[in-house]
C-alpha cells in the first residue's frame, strides 16, 4: 500500500540555522517583501526585530504583524490578510510557537482562497498552494512547522476548526533550538508533553504507516531521554536540542498519521477554558490511554517499552498498564496540574462537558483513535479527567 507523505520542501535544522534565513527564502522563490506573523512577546523580546535585521541585511523588505494571541481566531487571520494586502507582501513568515505559525499558515492560504474559515472545516481539505510560507518555531512542541494542519477558532462560535490539506504545509522551515532557550520551565514541560502526545497518538492511530511509525518511535525516545533533564536544568543544551528535533519528528508523525482522541478533547479545553494546548494534552493523555489501550494493546505496549516505562520481559497487557501509570507519574514529576487544580470552575466545566464532547466528535479526530468513543463516552472521559 502506498501512502502520501506531506512535509516542507526543505528544512534548515540545527544551531544557528536562523542566520541562513535569506538563503532559505531565496530557494523558495522570488520573495522580496515577506510579512512576519508573530505575537507581542516575539516583538517585545526583540526576536522579530532580529529576523527583520537579517532580512534587511539581505536586501529584503518586511513588516511585522504581531496581533496573534494563543488559540488564534479567524478575526485575527483576516486582520493579518488585510495588513498583508495593504503592504504588498508576497510571502509569510510564521515566527513563534504553534499559534503564530498556525495563524501564518492560515493567512498564507486564505489570502489566495476563501476568507470564510467554515470553508476549511473537516472533512474539507485545502490542497491548493497559497502564498509562500516559511515557519520558524521558537518552542519545542507543536510541530506545526512541518504539518498540513492549522487550528483556528471560529470567533462567533468559539469552535476550534482543524483546517487540513497540503496547502497548509509550509514551503520551508527553520528549526533552530537556540530560539527556544528563553522559554520558562513551564513551557519546556508543556511543549515536551505535547510532543509526546503527538508521537503516541500517531503510533496508535488507525492511519499509522511505516513512515509515521519511524518518526513517532524516534520522537518518543528523544522525549523520554531528555524532557526531565531539560526541565530540571534548562541550561542543558544537548537536552534542549534533542527536544527541538523531537518536536519536528512528532509533527511529521502526526501530520502523516493523524491525531486522535486526546487532541480532539484537548481543543475545546483551550477554546472554552483557555488551558494551554500542551498542558491540556498532558492532562488528558493518561485518561484517554486507559480508555483506549485494550483496542491497541501491542501498540501501547510498544510505546511503554520505547519510553522506558516497561521492559521486553513484560507482557503487552502489563506494559500497556504500566504506560498509563507512567503517564500519570510524568505529569506529577513535571508539575502538570489536574483540571481541577488549574482553577476551572467545576460547575462551569460539568455544564460544558456535553458541548466539548460534541465539538470533539465534530473534529473527526476521534475516528482515528484505536477505540472510537461516542459522545457520552467522551463526556464521561472529561468528567474522569477532572481530578
Q: Which pLDDT tens digits describe the chain residue by residue (387 residues)?
A: 677 788 899 999 999 999 999 999 999 989 999 999 999 999 999 999 999 999 999 999 999 999 999 889 999 999 999 999 999 999 999 999 989 999 999 999 999 999 999 999 888 888 888 999 999 999 988 889 999 889 899 998 888 888 989 999 999 999 999 999 988 899 999 999 999 999 999 999 999 999 999 999 999 999 999 999 999 999 999 999 999 999 999 999 998 898 999 999 998 998 889 899 899 999 999 999 999 999 999 999 999 999 999 999 999 999 999 999 999 999 999 999 999 899 999 999 999 999 999 999 988 899 999 999 999 999 999 999 997
Q: Give CA–CA dist 310/298, Å, rounded.
A: 13
- The cell for 44 is 517585545
Give the dihedral sign, CA 305/311/317/323.
Answer: negative
C-alpha cell at 244: 527541538
What are the strands of the beta sheet with 91-96, ordered from one edge?
10-13, 172-175, 133-137, 91-96, 34-37, 63-65
The C-alpha atoms of residue 93 and residue 109 are separated, in whole angstroms, by 13
Start-to-end C-alpha separation, the chain: 43
Amino acid at each position: 500500500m502506498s501512502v502520501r507523505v506531506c512535509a516542507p520542501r526543505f528544512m534548515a535544522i540545527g544551531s544557528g540555522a536562523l542566520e541562513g534565513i535569506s538563503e532559505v527564502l531565496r530557494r523558495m522563490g522570488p520573495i522580496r517583501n515577506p510579512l512576519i506573523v508573530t505575537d507581542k512577546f516575539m516583538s517585545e523580546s526583540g526576536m522579530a526585530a532580529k529576523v527583520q535585521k537579517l532580512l534587511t541585511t539581505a536586501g529584503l523588505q518586511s513588516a511585522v504583524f504581531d496581533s496573534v494571541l494563543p488559540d488564534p481566531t479567524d478575526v485575527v487571520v483576516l486582520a493579518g490578510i488585510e495588513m498583508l494586502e495593504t503592504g504588498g507582501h508576497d510571502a509569510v513568515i510564521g515566527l513563534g510557537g504553534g499559534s503564530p505559525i498556525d495563524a501564518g499558515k492560515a493567512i498564507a492560504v486564505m489570502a489566495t482562497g476563501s476568507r470564510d474559515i467554515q470553508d476549511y472545516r473537516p472533512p474539507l481539505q485545502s490542497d491548493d498552494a497559497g502564498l509562500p510560507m516559511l515557519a520558524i518555531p521558537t518552542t519545542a512542541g507543536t510541530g506545526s512547522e512541518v504539518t498540513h494542519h492549522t487550528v483556528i477558532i471560529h470567533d462567533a462560535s468559539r469552535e476550534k476548526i482543524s483546517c487540513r490539506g497540503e496547502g497548509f504545509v509550509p514551503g520551508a522551515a527553520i528549526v533552530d533550538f537556540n530560539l527556544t532557550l528563553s522559554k520558562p520551565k513551564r513551557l519546556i514541560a508543556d511543549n515536551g508533553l505535547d510532543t509526546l502526545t503527538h508521537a503516541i497518538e500517531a503510533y496508535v492511530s488507525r492511519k499509522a504507516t511505516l513512515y509515521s511509525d519511524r518518526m513517532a518511535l524516534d520522537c518518543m525516545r528523544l522525549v523520554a531521554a531528555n524532557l526531565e533533564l531539560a526541565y530540571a536544568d534548562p541550561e542543558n543544551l544537548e537536552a534542549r536540542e534533542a527536544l527541538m528535533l523531537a518536536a519536528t519528528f512528532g509533527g511529521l508523525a502526526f501530520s502523516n498519521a493523524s491525531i486522535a482522541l486526546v487532541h480532539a478533547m484537548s481543543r475545546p479545553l483551550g477554546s472554552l477554558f483557555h488551558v494551554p494546548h500542551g498542558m491540556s494534552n498532558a492532562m488528558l493523555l493518561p485518561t484517554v490511554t486507559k480508555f483506549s489501550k485494550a483496542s491497541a494493546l501491542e501498540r501501547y505496549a510498544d510505546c511503554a517499552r520505547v519510553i522506558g516505562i516497561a521492559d521486553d520481559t513484560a507482557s503487552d497487557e502489563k506494559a500497556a498498564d504500566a504506560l498509563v501509570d507512567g503517564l500519570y507519574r510524568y505529569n506529577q514529576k513535571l508539575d502538570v496540574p489536574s483540571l481541577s487544580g488549574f482553577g476551572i470552575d467545576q460547575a462551569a466545566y460539568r455544564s460544558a462537558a456535553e458541548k466539548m464532547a460534541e465539538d470533539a466528535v465534530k473534529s473527526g479526530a476521534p475516528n482515528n483513535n484505536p477505540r472510537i468513543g461516542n459522545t457520552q463516552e467522551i463526556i464521561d472521559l472529561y468528567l474522569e479527567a477532572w481530578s
